[in-house]
Amino acid sequence: MVGDDSHSHDDSSIDRRNFVRGCGAVAAMAAAGLSVDSVAATAADLDALLEDLPDNWGRWGEDDELGALNLLGSEEAYAGMEAAMQRGPNGIERFTLQMPMTGEAIDVLVEEGAEGPTTDTGDPMFPGRTPARRDNVADARTAEPYPGGMQFSDDRFVTEFFLQGTTHMDSLGHGWYGDEVYNGYDESVTAAPKEFEHAIPGCTDGDDGDGKEAKGHSEGGVKETHGHSAVDISPLADAGVAGRGVLLDVGRECGDDRGWLELGAEVTLEDLKATAEAQGVDLRQRDIVLFRTGSLERVTDPDAEWNPLNEPGLVFSDDLIRWIHDMEIPMIGADTVAVEKVTQTVGDHTFVLPLHGALLRDLGVSLNEILWLEELATQCADDGVYDFLLTSAPLHVERATGGPVNPVVLKATKPKKKRS
């Protein structure tokens, strides 16, 4: 049942301005009061927690890197199109679910002595990841007309650009436990070096952020990088996603009068099923499941408290993993930074992101995070149609751990008058 996680760490004393110390999730966890030692101590417990649950290793071949997206074929795309067309040719609405990549970077605006949850708004970034900044390299200030009079503007990113800093899909190799990632690949595939023949200037200028020269970076530019030699985001980008999506508006069903779940609320399998029943929508095999908590609306509300390490989210249970496996769910998405609760207590142990292990690593189920669902959810509540065609594909960035994505939804709604 949806509710506060009374057993997990209390993050209420951590404010958004003070999350970032350096750059990375481990630093953010430490800032929230969860020590690196405590995470490492549960590694064997996570293996024990998941060892008797199903996995999809070898199901699509020993070299597979696509995972449960293999389940999306012609019939699944057709089911999505049927859902989109159920109100006729004049009753289809289009939604995009991406958040901007260039927010206000509140995380790095540190105020000395700040305490308590923040009400600052702007970006939904996971602590340690900042939004990107872009700037023009050509525009009306400098452009010279080409023959015939045409002029052009152009731009580029001038800061670090985190591929998982906004609406994105995780690669299947993004999260793992033990020494193997999805489908039995050795964890070393996540750290494969690649040297390029030609160096390209980098935004770090050879500095890794601690005053030390980053490997492969020099005054001449970036000539070597590390990345995934397998189970990166590129197979998912090549395949794309098309199928019947279902929105489960848990926030509207179980939350407050704004349709928000409380900070720290746990979303269970029972909550998902109860929400589907209340909405009158059938969950079918191979559906793409999106669920809404109201978290991103909280991020953009200047009067609301916000805490990315204590967002509501899906929580682990054996039944949930078996249900996802039996239902052959290819992808799960949510309006939160992690889909699941960041810290969860299962039995006597506290885990960090255990569902990333169960879903990405074991089942090969794709995760789509930081989805903007407000307009889609509003229309679903208005017309009672919660299923639709969902299509998407992450940016193809070779060797990357994830990729920005702009999912497109085609949804049936009340027919509109024909154009005259």
Task: Name 243's Cβ contacts closer than 8 Å, sequence gap at least 6.
Answer: 72, 76, 77, 79, 80, 286, 287, 288, 330, 389, 390
Q: What is the pLDDT of residues 200-218, one digit of tens each?
A: 887 754 444 444 445 555 5
Task: Name 203's Cβ contacts closer than 8 Å, sequence gap at least 6.
Answer: 157, 158, 159, 160
288 by Cβ neighbours in 10 Å (0-12 / 13-18 / 19+) ranks as buried
- Angle of helix 318-326 relative to helix 269-279, nearest 10 degrees? 50
The rounded distance, in Å, linking the Cα atoms of 258 and 269 is: 23
| Cα-based distances in Å from 284 to 80, 276, 324 | 11, 11, 11
User: Is the CB of residue 343 less than 8 Å from the CB of residue 309?
Assistant: yes
| Cα-based distances in Å from 305 to 16, 111, 141 | 10, 17, 42
**Other residues' Cβ atoms within 10 Å of the Cβ of residue 138:** 13
Q: Bridge-partner residues for 369, per DSSP? A: 168
List the chain pLDDT tens, one digit each, 420 residues.
Answer: 676 543 333 333 333 333 333 334 444 454 444 444 444 335 788 999 999 999 999 999 999 999 999 999 999 999 999 999 999 999 999 999 999 888 765 544 434 444 444 555 667 777 777 788 889 999 999 878 999 999 999 999 988 888 988 899 999 999 999 999 999 999 999 999 999 988 888 775 444 444 444 555 556 788 999 999 999 999 999 999 999 999 999 999 999 999 999 999 999 999 999 999 999 999 999 999 999 999 999 988 878 887 778 899 999 999 999 999 999 999 999 999 999 999 998 888 889 999 999 999 999 999 999 999 999 999 999 999 999 999 999 999 999 999 999 999 999 998 877 665
Which two three-digit tokens encode residue 85?
Answer: 């067309």
DSSP reduced 3-state for 213: strand
Query: How confident is the model at residue 49, as a pLDDT?
Result: 93
Which two three-digit tokens encode residue 361?
Answer: 């690593």
DSSP characters for 379-390?
Answer: HHHHH---EEEE
User: Is the CB of residue 365 less than 8 Å from the CB of residue 325?
Assistant: no
Query: How confident is the model at residue 165, as a pLDDT?
Result: 84
Query: How confident is the model at residue 3, as a pLDDT?
Result: 61
The rounded distance, in Å, linking the Cα atoms of 230 and 362 is: 16
Query: Which candidate, 1, 17, 32, 7, places its Cα nearest to that of 338?
Result: 32
Q: What is the pLDDT of residues 93-136, one digit of tens each?
A: 999 999 988 876 554 443 444 444 455 566 777 777 778 888 99
What would the CATH number be for the domain defined by 3-102+164-176+232-412?
A: 3.50.30.50
Q: Where are the domains of the chain?
A: 3-102+164-176+232-412, 186-227
